Structure 1
Amino acid sequence: MRTAFQWIMSIVYVFQNAVMMLVMGILFFPWALVSPKGAMTACKTYATWALWSARWLVGIRTEVRGTVPSGAVLVPAKHQSFLDILMIYNAIPQPRFIMKYELLFTPIIGVYAWRLGCVPVRRGKRGAAIKSMLADVDSGRVAPGQLVIYPQGTRVPVGEYQPYKVGPYVLYKETGQTAVPVATNAGMFWPKGTMLRTPGLAVVEFLDPIEQGVDQKDFMHQLEDAIETGSNNLMREAGFEPDEVG
Structure 2
Amino acid sequence: MLAVRWILSLLFNIQMYLAMAVIAVVFAPWALFSREGAFAACHTYCRWVIFTARIMLGLQVEVRGTPPTDEVIVAAKHQSFFDILVIFNAIPRGKFIMKRELIYAPFLGQYARRIGCVFVDRGKRGAAIASMKADVARTATDPGQLVIYPQGTRVAPGVDKPYKVGSGLIYDQLGQPCVPVATNIGVYWPKRGILRKPGTCVVHFLPRIEPGLRVADFMKRLEHDIETTSDALLIEAGFRKP
Aligned-residue offset at 1:231: 0.4
Structure 1 residues 55-134: aligned runs within 5 Å: 55-122=54-121, 123=124, 124-134=127-137
Question: 1:158 maps to what in 2?
Answer: 157
Residues 29 and 108 of structure 1 are in contact (CA less than 8 Å); yes or no, is this contact kept in structure 2?
Answer: no
Distance 1:217 1:205, change over 3 A: same
Aligned-residue offset at 1:29: 1.8
Mean CA deviation greater in 108-117 or 126-135: 126-135
Question: 1:4 maps to what in 2?
Answer: 3
Aligned-residue offset at 1:33: 1.8
Distance 1:107 1:54, change over 3 A: closer
Q: Take 2:68 and 2:102, find their aligned partners in 1: how far apart are those partners?
A: 26
Residues 75 and 149 of structure 1 are in contact (CA less than 8 Å); yes or no, is this contact kept in structure 2?
Answer: yes
Aligned-residue offset at 1:157: 0.8
Q: Take 2:140 and 2:209, find their aligned partners in 1: how far apart are those partners?
A: 22
Q: Take 2:114 and 2:43, find their aligned partners in 1: how far apart are those partners?
A: 14
Work out the number of aligned pairs and report it.
238
Q: Specify the SS of the correspondent of 1:180.
A: strand
Aligned-residue offset at 1:114: 1.3
Q: Give the TM-score, by structure 2 length.
A: 0.94
Aligned-residue offset at 1:159: 1.5
Question: 1:225 maps to what in 2?
Answer: 224
Q: Take 1:192 and 1:129, find their aligned partners in 2: how far apart are those partners?
A: 25
Percent identity between the two aligned chains: 49
Residues 74 and 147 of structure 1 are in contact (CA less than 8 Å); yes or no, is this contact kept in structure 2?
Answer: yes
Q: Take 1:202 and 1:108, find their aligned partners in 2: how far apart are those partners?
A: 26
Q: Take 1:149 and 1:219, find their aligned partners in 2: how far apart are those partners?
A: 14
Q: Take 1:101 and 1:6, find their aligned partners in 2: how far apart are those partners?
A: 34
Question: 1:19 maps to what in 2?
Answer: 18
Alignment gaps of 5+ in structure 1: none
Aligned-residue offset at 1:241: 1.9
Question: 1:238 maps to what in 2?
Answer: 237
Distance 1:165 1:103, change over 3 A: same
Q: Take 2:149 and 2:199, find their aligned partners in 1: how far apart are those partners?
A: 24
In structure 2, give the amino acid aligned to 1:129: M
Residues 33 and 111 of structure 1 are in contact (CA less than 8 Å); yes or no, is this contact kept in structure 2?
Answer: no
Q: Take 2:86 and 2:154, find their aligned partners in 1: how far apart are those partners?
A: 15
Question: 1:180 maps to what in 2?
Answer: 179
In structure 2, give the amino acid aligned to 1:145: G
In structure 2, give the amino acid aligned to 1:200: G
Aligned-residue offset at 1:189: 0.6
Q: Take 2:4 and 2:139, find their aligned partners in 1: how far apart are those partners?
A: 49
Q: Please provide the CA RMSD for this pair.
A: 1.4
Residues 30 and 38 of structure 2 are in contact (CA less than 8 Å); yes or no, is this contact kept in structure 1?
Answer: yes
Alignment gaps of 5+ in structure 2: none
Question: 1:51 maps to what in 2?
Answer: 50
Residues 156 and 191 of structure 2 are in contact (CA less than 8 Å); yes or no, is this contact kept in structure 1?
Answer: yes
Residue 148 of structure 2 is aligned to residue 149 of structure 1:
yes
- Structure 1 runs of 4+ aligned residues shifted over 4 Å read none
Q: Take 2:32 and 2:101, find their aligned partners in 1: how far apart are those partners?
A: 19
Q: Take 1:231 and 1:184, find their aligned partners in 2: how far apart are those partners?
A: 5
Aligned-residue offset at 1:242: 2.6
In structure 1, give the amino acid aligned to 2:154: R
In structure 1, give the amino acid aligned to 2:186: G
